[in-house]
Amino acid sequence: MRERPIITIDGPSGAGKTTVSKRLAERASLTRLDTGAMYRACALAAREAGVPWSDGARLGRLCADLRLAFRQEGGEMRILLCGEDASEAIRTPEISMGASEVSTHKAVREAMVRLQRKMGEKGGVVLEGRDTGTVVFPDADAKFVLDAAAAVRARRRFLEWGAGERKPFEEVLREVLLRDIQDSTREHSPLRMAEGAVYIDTTTMTAEEVVEEMLRRLLPEARKGLPGGATL
């Protein structure tokens, strides 16, 4: 039995998973595993290796040998791809769409899930992604699904990307809606509500309000091993 909990946070692009998982991990003294960053790293590695995002067989072989690791640095979790910090390079709109495409391939998802389970099997982790509560850890101690209105999620992405990419809001909204379709209709591990998950609509909530709601809703068994127990 785990001494410390596994908490999963799933949801579509722009729902607030990254910000919320960071704050929840800090509040609860847990390690944060950004599974979405791992798929982004796969997309980046494939682009650098000249492997098309549509080539599932080659992507599977690439991912099987991919060296990924997370490192805490200055209060931020950085992702290392083959020993190099790829935290900024994976956050472009292009790589975001690439992550959605590579994640449709069974071989890629199998390789990533194996690595995610290995990283989090001992507990004491918060995982965020699309299938962390349905596929990676269906036996997680607590599961959450974050969501928000599409226009709000697109606005968040627009503010995140807009300054550097200079994309019009309408284009960002189209990309968010396309990503929703890709994530929810893919054959392998589609985005869906995990059994027993708590659904939180973040449309009108701040990140801190979402974290407070999650801490309030944590199941008693998930509180074990957290600093302060039930009084977090």
pLDDT in tens, 159-183: 876 555 667 889 889 989 988 888 8
Collect all residues with Cβ–Cβ distance below 8 Å to 217 and sequence separation of at least 6. Answer: 142, 144, 198
pLDDT of residue 167: 79
Q: Nearest-CA neighbor of 80 among 118, 47, 34?
A: 34
Tell me the per-residue pLDDT of 73-103, one tens digit each, with 9 for 90 and over. Answer: 766 789 999 999 999 999 888 898 899 899 8
Whether 230 has a pLDDT exceeding 50, the answer reads no
Tell me the per-residue pLDDT of 104-136, one tens digit each, with 9 for 90 and over. Answer: 899 999 999 999 999 899 999 999 988 999 999
Confidence of residue 231 (pLDDT cuts 50, 70, 90): very low
User: CA-CA distances (angstroms) from residue 72 to 29, 69, 87, 197?
Assistant: 13, 10, 12, 28
What is the SS3 assignment for 144? strand
pLDDT of residue 160: 77
pLDDT of residue 187: 77
User: CA-CA distances (angstroms) from residue 211 to 88, 145, 177?
Assistant: 25, 12, 26
pLDDT of residue 165: 61
Tell me the per-residue pLDDT of 6-37, one tens digit each, with 9 for 90 and over. Answer: 999 999 989 999 899 999 999 888 889 888 89
pLDDT of residue 232: 33
Superfamily of domain 6-224: P-loop containing nucleotide triphosphate hydrolases (3.40.50.300)
Average pLDDT, integer, range 47-53:
96
pTM: 0.81
Tell me the per-residue pLDDT of 176-224, one tens digit each, with 9 for 90 and over. Answer: 998 888 888 877 778 889 999 999 999 999 999 999 999 988 866 666 6
pLDDT of residue 4: 87
Average pLDDT, integer, range 226-231:
52
Please say whether the dihedral angle defined by the alpha carbons of residues 214, 215, 219 and 224, taken in this order, is positive or negative: positive
Dmax (CA) of the chain: 51
- Cβ distance 62 to 46 under 8 Å? yes
φ and ψ at 31, to 5 degrees?
-90, 135
In eight-state DSSP terms, residue 131 is: S
Break the chain into its structural domains and give their ranges: 6-224
DSSP bridge pairs for 8: 127, 143
